[in-house]
């Protein structure tokens, strides 16, 4: 009778341990209410240029030879140029938010996005008679996002796309670990000398309509651990640990008896 009682107790203890170690799918699944998303039009952000941004500016025109003075790097056929070389030869945005552009001189980029600056340079080059039918392409060479905490590959990642979204940024870091909280991700953003922080919840589709869903250069993302992870950091941190110890003790008593 005692052996049967002990067996029942051991079974109950094991089941409690099993269920306590499992986490609800609501703590893991992304965008759980995606069915309610209204499929609204995607609005890509136009980030304004900031101090210390490095720009790659390519200028072409109807007469290609005439556009040579406006290009710092002329890539030859089949020539690969590293990002470091491009950055060293790029246009650095000064503290006054200006760049020094060939022939045109010092140009203010304050309040301008890369698209705005493209349009501005194209207009000046054509209206002032420098080039015939010019085309200007600008890329930000040192855009980066830092991702820390409970992700598979924390670090700082550089991107040259004009727009990447929040989920794509997390993808650069290999996604969250099982111990990362989907409901409590911190985003730190600095724009025009002002720092803004917000909390992101990946379990709701509201993220897709958020003004923070598009990443801006120099954003910092911090993925906090789940409560289970925090508690397990101690010697006897949570119910799973307690039940594990109790199960081992109970098994030992049964074997001894």
State whether 118 and 150 are in the same domain.
no
Q: Do residue 175 and residue 98 come from a single domain? A: no
If phi > 0 it is left, if psi is from -120 to 50 it is alpha, else beta; for residue 249 that is alpha
Q: Residue 100: what pLDDT?
A: 96
SS3 108: strand
Does residue 196 belong to any structural domain of this protein?
A: yes
Average pLDDT over residues 192-218: 92
- What the block records as the tokens of 164 is 């990447």
- pLDDT above 90: residue 223: yes
Percentage of residues in the chain having pLDDT higher than 70: 77
Q: How are beta strands 54-60 and 91-92 bridged, if at all?
A: antiparallel
**54-60: strand order across its sheet:** 91-92, 54-60, 135-140
Is residue 158 a contact partner of residue 215, using CB atoms and an 8 Å limit? no
At 244 the pLDDT is: 66
- Please state the domain count of the chain: 3
How far apart CA 206 and CA 212 sit, in angstroms, is 11
232's tokens: 């397990």
Instruction: Count the neighbouring beta carbons within 10 Å of the beta carbon of residue 115.
Output: 12
Tens digits of residue pLDDT in 92-129? 999 999 999 999 999 999 999 999 999 999 999 999 99
Q: Are residues 37 and 150 in the same domain?
A: yes
Q: Which CATH number is 174's domain given?
A: 3.10.560.10
187-208 average pLDDT score: 92
Q: What's the pLDDT score for residue 192?
A: 83
pLDDT per residue as tens digits for the range 32-73:
888 888 777 777 778 899 999 999 999 999 998 999 999 987
Going by the DSSP 8-state scheme, the letter that residue 163 receives in this structure is -
Q: State the CATH number of the domain containing residue 134.
A: 3.30.1950.10
Picking from 140, 159, 176, the residue at the C-terminal end of a domain is: 140
Both 164 and 38 in one domain: the answer is yes
Confidence band for 77, pLDDT divided at 50, 70 and 90: very low
Show the domain range for 65: 54-140
Strands 105-108 and 135-140, by their bridges, are unpaired
């Amino acid at each position: 009778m005692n052996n049967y009682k002990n067996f029942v107790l051991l079974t109950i203890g094991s089941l409690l341990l099993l269920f306590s170690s499992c986490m609800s799918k609501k703590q893991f699944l992304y965008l759980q209410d995606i069915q309610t998303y209204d499929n609204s039009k995607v609005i890509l952000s136009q980030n304004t240029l900031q101090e210390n941004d490095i720009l790659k500016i390519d200028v072409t025109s109807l007469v290609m030879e005439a556009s040579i003075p406006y290009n710092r790097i002329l890539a030859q056929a089949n020539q690969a140029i590293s990002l470091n070389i491009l950055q060293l030869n790029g246009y650095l945005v000064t503290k006054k938010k200006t760049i020094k552009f060939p022939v045109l001189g010092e140009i203010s980029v304050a309040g301008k996005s890369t698209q705005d600056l493209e349009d501005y340079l194209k207009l000046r080059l054509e209206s002032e008679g420098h080039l015939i039918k010019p085309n200007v392409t600008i890329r930000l060479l040192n855009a980066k996002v830092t991702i820390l905490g409970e992700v598979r590959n924390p670090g700082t990642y550089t991107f040259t796309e004009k727009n990447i979204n929040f989920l794509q940024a997390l993808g650069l870091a290999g996604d969250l670990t099982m111990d990362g909280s989907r409901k409590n991700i911190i985003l730190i953003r600095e724009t025009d000398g002002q720092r803004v922080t917000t909390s992101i919840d990946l379990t709701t589709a509201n993220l897709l309509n958020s003004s923070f869903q598009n990443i801006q250069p120099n954003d910092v993302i911090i993925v906090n651990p789940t409560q289970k992870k925090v508690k397990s950091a101690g010697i006897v941190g949570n119910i799973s640990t307690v039940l594990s110890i109790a199960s081992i003790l109970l098994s030992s008593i049964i074997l001894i008896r």
